[in-house]
């Protein structure tokens, strides 16, 4: 998959598509759902916003989208709070959940109503339905949609205004493997156009092949921000040869430490070429040489374990609970 990063006029040095969250806190009564959270999301990249259930992801996204008011701190898009953006839907497209459609209305009508409020023509509606792969289904009532179809309709709605920034809450939920593959390619295409793509998930593995960067939270607090590649860790390299002791000695001379592991050597470098060259000079055959990747499930668990709280005092009772407009101003 290509990952070309082009800069569009809207993503220049002004950081028009940059999301900045600074010291963001949200308390519900005495319960702190989001706790002094700061992170940045860059244009032209896909960022995974990750954390276990109840970590505070949706609450953060709702603050970013002006649906609830922060207790303190700021969340801005291109330097402005959502409510201060002139025509927000042409700057930010979002899908906070996939169940929020009027069941009696067809997918296409749903989009047309939205398009009307945004001053977008009907041709764009059909174009978006085509783009997300549900042009035929769009003539059916949304009440009969599968979860995957609702996700696609939500995506089409988010894209109607051709926004610079896309914010999707658990977009892979309900998609089959083919759907997830499609979503990955689709989001990659958008980010290669310079758009900012932020997607939340409670499963690192679900998005590991999709995202460039991660922001991991637990208990409402940041536990890690950085490129996805960092999570795979500099776990060193694994090398297998006929005489591990001899190779360990040769590596030591080259200033590289190593230790025995299951008949192979775990080498303290990720420079595979160096290890191969050392083995060659030592006259040792190499049967296996690879980067020692870390198990992502373990990484996620280690980063968030012990800090994960149980669900807070409030649990949504139905699918629409999280779209409540508490604190929202039109």
Binding site for ligand ATP (CB under 6 A): 28, 31, 33, 51, 53-59, 202, 311-315
Distance CA 54, CA 42 (A): 25
Which residues, in sequence order, are CB contacts of 230 under 8 Å at separation 6+? Answer: none
Total count of residues recorded for the chain: 330
The closest alpha carbon to 183, from 191, 175, 194, belongs to: 175
Residue keyed to tokens 């949304």: 142
Instruction: Say if strands 196-201 and 165-169 run parallel, antiparallel, or are unpaired.
Output: parallel
CB closer to ligand ATP, 175 vs 289: 175
The tokens describing 18, both together, are 């940059």
CB closer to ligand ATP, 197 vs 251: 197
CB closer to ligand ATP, 53 vs 117: 53
According to DSSP, the residues that pair with 48 across neighbouring strands are 199, 214
Smallest distance from ligand ATP to CB 27, Å: 9
Smallest distance from ligand ATP to CB 68, Å: 8
CB closer to ligand ATP, 64 vs 129: 64
Q: Which strands make up the sheet holding 286-291, listed edge to edge? A: 258-261, 264-267, 237-241, 286-291
| Closest residue to ligand ATP using C-beta atoms | 312
CB closer to ligand ATP, 123 vs 311: 311
Smallest distance from ligand ATP to CB 278, Å: 46
Which burial class, exposed, middle or buried, applies to 41 when counting CB atoms under 10 A from its CB (0-12, 13-18, 19+)?
A: buried
The tokens describing 200, both together, are 């939340």
CB closer to ligand ATP, 287 vs 314: 314
Smallest distance from ligand ATP to CB 257, Å: 40
Smallest distance from ligand ATP to CB 89, Å: 22
- What Rg do the C-alpha atoms of the chain give, in angstroms? 23
CB closer to ligand ATP, 35 vs 237: 35
Smallest distance from ligand ATP to CB 33, Å: 3
CB closer to ligand ATP, 311 vs 330: 311
Q: Which strands make up the sheet holding 31-41, listed edge to edge? A: 31-41, 19-28, 72-77
Smallest distance from ligand ATP to CB 243, Å: 50
The closest alpha carbon to 309, from 31, 58, 32, 54, belongs to: 54
The closest alpha carbon to 169, from 327, 323, 1, 328, belongs to: 323
Distance CA 278, CA 281 (A): 5
Smallest distance from ligand ATP to CB 313, Å: 6
Whether residue 133 contacts residue 206, with contact meaning beta carbons closer than 8 Å, is answered with no
The tokens describing 107, both together, are 């997918």
């Amino acid at each position: 998959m290509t990952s070309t990063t082009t800069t569009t006029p809207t993503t220049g040095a002004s950081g028009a598509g940059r999301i900045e969250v600074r010291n963001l806190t949200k308390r519900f009564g005495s319960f702190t759902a989001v706790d002094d959270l700061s992170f940045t999301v860059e244009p032209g990249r896909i960022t995974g916003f990750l954390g276990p259930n109840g970590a505070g992801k949706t609450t953060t996204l709702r603050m970013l989208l002006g649906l609830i008011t922060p207790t303190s701190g700021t969340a801005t898009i291109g330097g402005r709070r959502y409510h201060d953006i002139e025509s927000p839907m042409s700057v930010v497209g979002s899908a906070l959940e996939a169940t929020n459609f009027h069941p009696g209305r067809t997918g296409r009508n749903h989009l047309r109503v939205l398009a009307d409020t945004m001053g977008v023509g009907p041709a764009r509606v059909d174009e978006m339905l085509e783009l997300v792969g549900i042009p035929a289904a769009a003539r059916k009532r949304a009440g009969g949609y599968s979860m995957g179809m609702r996700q696609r309709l939500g995506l089409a709605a988010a894209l109607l205004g051709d926004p610079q920034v896309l914010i999707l809450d658990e977009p892979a939920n309900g998609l089959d493997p083919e759907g997830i593959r499609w979503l990955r390619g689709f989001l990659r295409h958008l980010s290669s156009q310079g758009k900012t793509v932020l997607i939340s998930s409670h499963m690192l593995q679900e998005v590991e092949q999709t995202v460039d960067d991660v922001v991991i939270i637990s208990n409402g607090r940041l536990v890690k921000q950085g490129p996805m590649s960092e999570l795979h860790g500099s776990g060193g390299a694994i090398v297998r040869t006929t005489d591990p002791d001899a190779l360990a000695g040769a590596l030591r001379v080259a200033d590289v430490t190593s230790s025995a592991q299951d008949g192979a050597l775990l080498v303290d470098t990720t420079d595979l070429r160096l290890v191969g060259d050392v083995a060659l000079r030592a006259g040792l055959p190499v049967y296996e040489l690879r980067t020692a990747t870390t198990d992502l499930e373990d990484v996620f668990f280690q980063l968030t374990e012990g800090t994960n709280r149980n669900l807070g005092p409030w649990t949504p009772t139905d699918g629409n609970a999280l779209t409540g407009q508490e604190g929202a101003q039109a």
